[in-house]
Amino acid sequence: MCLLAVLYRLVPESPILVAANREEYFDRNSHPPTIQPGKPRVLCGVDQRAGGTWLGVNQHGMFVGVCNRRSSADPFGARNRGLLAREVLRCNSARKGVDKAMEELMGQRYESLNLIVCDAESGWIVHSDQEQEVLPLENGLNIVGQSDVNDPHDERVQMAHRLLTLQMLDSPVKFLAVASKVFARSPSPPGRPSMVVRAPDYGTVSSTLIALSPKPRDAIFQYAAGAPDQAKYEDYSPMLRDILSRGLREARSKSKAS
């Protein structure tokens, strides 16, 4: 399981606001977010076993996040879903990113997944199991877990939606403050939905908060290397601002050259 919330195009100064908890087996290690080599520059964490990522941002201001999708069985030899996320992060726009995702999914077998791809111009969610479905990301709050986006039957998604809409999230600061508390909600009694998941060998292994803004200096990236009810969010914003500034400079150079 994973839980991913995107507040899209509701706050003008930060059209993309993200909160995400990642669940994984505790013995499956990963590297914290770093700027990856190559172009475009990408800030993301990396799964040490498969080499994929669960979420990231590239220098073009495009966000990509992936969750596992409940499935009866993934096909034998299916490619890791995190590798698809890294492929998409190489694109320079969400429109091209979702096209790349569909090209990959039609040409190769991947683990079942829910994929969100968005930038300031467009946003998309891809559901992929036995078949693929592409939907535009709605303006407002979009939350996805192991089923469809904003699934009314997913109790965890519905609880997150309820907790995130108890007050008006009209600024990036307010969204991040509220989301940091909601996604750090400690495990509930057995049988009830919970933001933080904690089982003997599996559970919430990290949490991320992101605010993407038109001005690179206003971008925010916070990461907790553990369940956020126990681990503190650390500031990775300088790295995000660095790659976004690079992207803006390159875009201006290309514009002048043309």
Return the beta strands (E) in the chain as ranges: 2-8, 16-25, 30-36, 42-47, 55-58, 63-68, 113-118, 123-128, 132-136, 140-144, 202-212, 220-224, 234-235
Handedness of CA 211, 216, 218, 224 (dihedral sign): positive
Determine how many CB atoms are found less than 10 A away from the CB of residue 141: 18
How would you classify residue 140: left for phi > 0, otherwise alpha for psi between -120 and 50, otherwise beta? left
pTM of the predicted model as reported, rounded to 2 decimal places: 0.96
State which amino acid sits at residue 193.
P
Q: Is 216 helix (H, G, I), strand (E, B) or coil?
A: helix
- CA separation for the pair 61, 78 (Å, rounded): 29
- 258 residues of the chain, pLDDT tens digit each: 799 999 999 999 999 999 999 999 999 999 999 999 999 999 999 999 999 999 999 999 999 999 999 886 666 789 999 999 999 999 999 999 999 999 999 999 999 999 999 999 999 999 999 899 999 999 999 999 999 999 999 999 999 999 999 999 999 999 999 999 999 999 877 778 889 999 999 999 999 999 999 999 999 999 999 999 999 999 999 999 999 999 999 988 888 887
For 17-49, the DSSP string reads EEEEEEEEETTS-EEEEEEESSSS-EEEEEETT
Q: Which domains does the chain have, with CATH numbers?
A: 2-257 (3.60.60.10)
- Tokens of residue 165, six digits: 């809409």
- CA separation for the pair 178, 163 (Å, rounded): 9
